[in-house]
Amino acid sequence: MDKENLSALIEAASAQLQHSYAPYSDFKVGAALLAQDGKIYTGCNIENAAYTPTNCAERTAFFKAVSEGVRDFQAICVVGGPGGKMEDYTPPCGVCRQVMMEFCDPERFEIILAKDNGDCAIYKLKDLMPMGFGLSH
């Protein structure tokens, strides 16, 4: 991950916080997904009064990309927190990790977590989803 892509992803994910629809939890999440061709697909969490239809920011980004015919990805950046304050890392939930397993090589795909103080942590999907169930099964 070069510096240019890294800062573009953090900026795009952070900008998504303003679109987060989280009236029930007030936990706002933004994501920015980098496709193999360099294009960025963004997403936010979208909650629902019935709770279970809620969609996470990561899946919003993935589904936007896949619905446009894009299936090859390099990395995703996830940011958020209570009230949209990025004071801590927001790691992807298990369901989102499973969606990543469907479209990404766990050995290569990178998950970037960032805070507003400039800290960021980068993980490989294989480390956040050990022994994950995927296409090879």
For ligand THU, the closer CB: 27 or 103: 27
Q: Which of 19, 27, 115, 134 binds ligand THU (CB under 6 A)?
A: 27
Q: How far apart are CA 18 and CA 32, in angstroms?
A: 14
Task: Report yes or no: 47 and 22 within 8 Å, Cβ to Cβ.
Answer: yes
Q: Which of 35, 36, 117, 28 is nearest to 78 (CA)?
A: 28
**Residue 56 sits in the site that holds ligand THU (CB under 6 A):** yes
Question: Hey, what amino acid is at 67?
Answer: S
Residues acting as catalytic residues: 58
**Residue 54 sits in the site that holds ligand THU (CB under 6 A):** yes
Question: Hey, what amino acid is at 52?
Answer: T
**Residue 22 sits in the site that holds ligand THU (CB under 6 A):** yes
Chain residues in the site for ligand THU (CB under 6 A): 22, 25, 27, 29, 45, 47, 54, 56-58, 92-93, 96
